[in-house]
Amino acid sequence: MNRRHALRHIALISGGLALIPSCDFGKEDILTAYDKLQITPSLKKLLASISDTIIPAGEIKGALDLEVHDFILVMVNDCFNEENQKKFSQGLQSFSSYIKESSGKAFDQLTTKEKEAMVLETAQLKGDDSEEGRTKESIAYFVNTAKRFTIQGYMASEYIQTEVVPYSLIPGEYNGAVLISDLQKPRVNG
Amino acid sequence: MANLNIKSKQDRTYQAIVIGSGISGAWAAKEFCDLGVKTLMLERGRNVEHIKDYPTTNMLPYEFPHRGQIPEDIKKENPVISRCYAFREDAMHFFVKDTEHPYVQEKPFDWIRGYQVGGKSLLWARQVQRWSDFDFEGPARDGFAVDWPIRYKDIAPWYSHVEKFAGVSGNRDGIPHLPDGEFLPGYELNVVEKHFAEQLKKHYGNDRHMISARCAHINGNLDFYAQQGRAKCQNRNLCQRGCPFGGYFSSNSSTIPWALKTGNLTLRSDSVVHSIIYDEEKGKATGVRIIDRLTKEMEEFYADVIFVNAAALNTNAILLNSTSNRFPNGLGNDNGLLGKYVAFHNYRARVSGEYEGHSEYTTSGGRPTSGYFPRFRNVYKQETDFLRGYAAGFSASRGAGADTSGVGMDLKNSLLNPDQYGPWRVGSHMMGETIPKESNYVALDPNLKDEWGMPLLKISVDYDDNDEKMVKDYIEQMTEMFTKAGFTHIRSSDSKQAPGLDIHEMGGVRMGKDPKTSLLNAHHQLHAVPNVYVTDGASMTSTATQNPSLTYMAFAARAAHHAVAESKK
């Protein structure tokens, strides 16, 4: 095995960091772990940053600590049809230019508050039949998809389900009339 | 050489052969073994041993790479099985994929199959409601199909027999057309389900009921079930993965290990049954030809009595493929009706809604069942413009949700401390009786064959006008009942799903009194070949509205005892 093959092998088993040259993006390589998406390392980094804005670290870990962006890409790559994969990829690719145009900065240069505002704003974008409208629609589709999978990937993670809100395979006897006022759950501070 | 052959033939000879290890086949085998009959049980799929072969049973949500969802490329390749509610990441290894075992759809039919030891008993919904004479007398009263050759009194003791062993939880509801059985303590209805039951009583008197559905889960008499190695249901609701507690009844957890313990059972998996061997001189069936699934070699096994329990449509296929000079059109098929009068359950429509009342309550824990709404239409007399009627499932649920409108720390804290209670959600789905017709049939394709050289099954089954009227009536009536119960935001839908997705396909080898119009007699013997019995869904003369598995189990146990009694004559 030559060095290049060895590197690729290691990258594949380490989860998607293999870089295969591609002409689609000229300068940048495409990540092969998500073979149905056109994801470059910088797009993946951007997605990570967006997921971390959606669920940040605080007293307990956030989405970035749990690499939820990898879960998002796996779900879109494996469980979406081609049309929705395309829409997601287009939205992700257009996201940074939209941010630049409306704020004058790259997403990573924004403050936390500004980032949050941009995620909320882009999730609400409405599309129409123009090219710009279609771009806006794909951005909103991407942001809402990313948010949905960030929530799912974060809440259904090993960390949350073992250390924060333990998941029980055995839920106990059924009670069909529990007074909500009697429920006392310790508050978890994020 | 001759001696070797004799020995080899002796080695392959049993007193009984049961084809199929699903819910009915394993019951027949268990009864035979308890009665001291040396039994061979053949299963076309791989072996699945209780607990050992449930790879996902204790997996946690985060251990599934797609959190339960089926990847798109699998869905695309397997559109039929992907429509099944239980075909999910945690149980997909127990379902037949479209690509593995093709069949011919003359009309759209979603054929849901489980090819493994235990069959679909690993995957069933575990609902076990008894039939009554209002069901057995249906065809004779309403003039369709043929009269059942049996009545409730013939099968009632066998319902009791299988209920006690399998473990059935339920309440004694005292409903004439849904007889009570041998029940372990029933599961509780929640506060809104009880409200709905009370409202039905108030508005419809004693005509319409909502009860806790009887289910094949252990909820008491624990020492008795410990003898089977089974324990109390833990309310996990992960049944489709196979239960490590044996909390619900399956062939794998109950009847098969029990039969193996007697020393009388030989279980041969990976045995695709080709046909039943008919001996013209003796005038009876003498054995079964199989093709080994892995080596593709043909082999023969012999027995005095043969039970066909391959699951409704495959039982039809085996009999159709069992041709001889005496039976050129399939075993026992003198009247040409084999494969015809196939029916199913109409599961097309749903009604859902919300309830603002009882807003101070929610539920906790889990339970393996929900509400059941027995048939009320045309029970005592014909009263609508369609024949028969429908039962329905019903449940109410409520849980705490989180406000997910924000982002950042607000969203995070809201997700970690869910405290948003919306209204109760209520939902119902219909389970309609369909009328068996000659035009709903299965046959063997004359040209296409599978990997084992077996002809593909051609399925031609469709809804009719009676079904359309029933869908309409269910939606109207359930909407009215929901309205009277104070439910709001009531929505109804007709999925128009193809027959088959109900997984209650029945008939083709129906029972009846007259050999001219039926295939099986009152004891499930082929009229023309009495040492061949069919006790699975294929034997059904009509479908009623109840989930059918309990009735197949009772049929199988009853017929096995009959076969043993006959052999002693």
Of the two residues A33 and B9, the one the predictor is more confident about is: B9
Confidence of residue A6 (pLDDT cuts 50, 70, 90): very low
**Contacting residues of B for A185, CB less than 8 Å apart:** 417
**Contacting residues of A for B65, CB less than 8 Å apart:** 74, 78
> Would the CB atoms of A174 and B366 count as touching at under 8 Å?
yes
Residue A189's pLDDT is 94
Residue A30's pLDDT is 84
In whole angstroms, what is the distance from residue A148 CA to residue A169 CA? 24
SS3 B412: helix
The distance of A157 to chain B (nearest Cα, Å) reads 5
Confidence of residue A9 (pLDDT cuts 50, 70, 90): very low
Q: Is the pLDDT of residue A7 over 50?
A: no
CA-nearest of B513, B561, B520 to B537 is B520
Residue B4's pLDDT is 59
Judged by a CB distance cut-off of 8 A, whether residue A79 touches chain B is: yes
Confidence of residue B232 (pLDDT cuts 50, 70, 90): very high
Q: Is the pLDDT of residue A11 over 70?
A: no
Confidence of residue A186 (pLDDT cuts 50, 70, 90): confident
Judged by a CB distance cut-off of 8 A, whether residue A186 touches chain B is: no
In whole angstroms, what is the distance from residue B71 CA to residue B98 CA? 15
The distance of B75 to chain A (nearest Cα, Å) reads 9
Confidence of residue A184 (pLDDT cuts 50, 70, 90): confident
Confidence of residue B7 (pLDDT cuts 50, 70, 90): low
Which alpha helices (H) appear in B64-209, and where do they start and end?
72-77, 79-82, 133-136, 138-142, 152-166, 191-204
DSSP code, position B83: T
Q: Is the pLDDT of residue A24 over 80?
A: no
Q: What digits encode the pLDDT tens for the residues B385-438?
A: 999 999 999 999 999 999 999 999 999 999 999 999 999 999 999 999 999 999
Q: What digits encode the pLDDT tens for the residues B115-157?
A: 999 999 999 999 999 999 999 999 999 999 999 999 999 999 9
**Contacting residues of B for A154, CB less than 8 Å apart:** 415
Residue A144's pLDDT is 98
Q: What digits encode the pLDDT tens for the residues B14-52?
A: 999 999 999 999 999 999 999 999 999 999 999 999 999
Containing H/E element for B279?
strand B271-279
Q: Is the pLDDT of residue A5 over 50?
A: no
> Would the CB atoms of B366 and A161 count as touching at under 8 Å?
no
Q: Is the pLDDT of residue A3 over 60?
A: no
Q: What digits encode the pLDDT tens for the residues B375-386?
A: 999 999 999 999
* Tokens found for residue B251: 């062939």
Q: Which residue has the tokens 């924004």?
A: A110
Q: What digits encode the pLDDT tens for the residues B536-568?
A: 999 999 999 999 999 999 999 999 999 999 999
In whole angstroms, what is the distance from residue B218 CA to residue A87 CA? 49
Residues 6 or more apart from B105 whose CB is under 8 A from it?
A: B459
In whole angstroms, what is the distance from residue A63 CA to residue B453 CA? 53
SS3 B90: coil
Q: Rounded to 5 degrees, what angle do the CA atoms B56, B58, B63 make?
A: 65
List the end-to-end C-alpha distance of chain B, in Å, as a whole number: 36
What's the whole-number mean pLDDT along residues B191-202? 98
In whole angstroms, what is the distance from residue B474 CA to residue B492 CA? 10
Q: Do the Cβ atoms of A15 and A33 come closer than 8 Å?
A: yes
What is chain B's percent helix, strand, coil content, to nearest 5? 30, 25, 50
In whole angstroms, what is the distance from residue B469 CA to residue B449 CA? 38
The distance of B481 to chain A (nearest Cα, Å) reads 22
**Contacting residues of B for A169, CB less than 8 Å apart:** 58, 60, 236, 238
**Contacting residues of A for B360, CB less than 8 Å apart:** 179-181
In whole angstroms, what is the distance from residue B15 CA to residue B222 CA? 34
Q: Closest to A80 (Cβ–Cβ): which among B72, B194, B366? A: B72
Q: Which of B7-11, B236-240, B263-267 is least confident?
A: B7-11
What's the whole-number mean pLDDT along residues B335-348? 98
Containing H/E element for A4?
helix A3-13
Domains defined along chain B, listed by start: 1-55+93-155+251-342+434-452+504-569 (3.50.50.60), 188-213+345-430+463-498 (no CATH)
**Contacting residues of A for B415, CB less than 8 Å apart:** 55, 151, 154-155, 190
Global pTM reads: 0.94
* % pLDDT > 70, chain B: 99
Q: Is the pLDDT of residue B176 over 90?
A: yes
DSSP code, position A167: -
Q: What residues are paired with B346 via a beta bridge?
A: B432
CA-nearest of B150, B128, B129, B130 to B139 is B150
What's the whole-number mean pLDDT along residues B311-324? 98
> Would the CB atoms of B365 and A175 count as touching at under 8 Å?
yes
CA-nearest of B444, B510, B12, B32 to B271 is B12
Q: What digits encode the pLDDT tens for the residues B429-477?
A: 999 999 999 999 999 999 999 999 999 999 999 999 999 999 999 999 9
DSSP code, position A90: H
> Would the CB atoms of A152 and B190 count as touching at under 8 Å?
no
What's the whole-number mean pLDDT along residues A85-101? 96
**Contacting residues of A for B244, CB less than 8 Å apart:** none
What is chain A's percent helix, strand, coil content, to nearest 5? 60, 5, 35
Residue B6's pLDDT is 67
* Tokens found for residue A93: 């690719």
Residue B3's pLDDT is 55
DSSP code, position B163: H
What's the whole-number mean pLDDT along residues A83-111? 96
What's the whole-number mean pLDDT along residues A15-36? 61
In whole angstroms, what is the distance from residue B530 CA to residue B273 CA? 20
Q: Closest to A79 (Cβ–Cβ): which among B72, B193, B416? A: B72
Judged by a CB distance cut-off of 8 A, whether residue A174 touches chain B is: yes
Q: Which residue has the tokens 């059972």?
A: B265
What's the whole-number mean pLDDT along residues B260-273? 98
For chains A and B, CB pairs below 8 A equal 126
Tell me the residue type at B484: K
Is the ipTM value over 0.90, yes or no?
yes
What's the whole-number mean pLDDT along residues A178-187? 91
In whole angstroms, what is the distance from residue B267 CA to residue B11 CA? 14
Q: What residues are paired with B211 via a beta bridge?
A: B372
Q: What is the DSSP string of A49-67?
A: HHHHHHS--SSS--TTTTT
What's the whole-number mean pLDDT along residues B213-233? 98
Interface of A with B in 53-72 (CB under 8 A): 53-56, 58, 62
Q: Do the Cβ atoms of A18 and A8 come closer than 8 Å?
A: yes
What's the whole-number mean pLDDT along residues B172-187? 98
Residue B275's pLDDT is 98
Strands in chain A per DSSP E: 19-20, 30-31, 175-179
In whole angstroms, what is the distance from residue B116 CA to residue B259 CA? 17
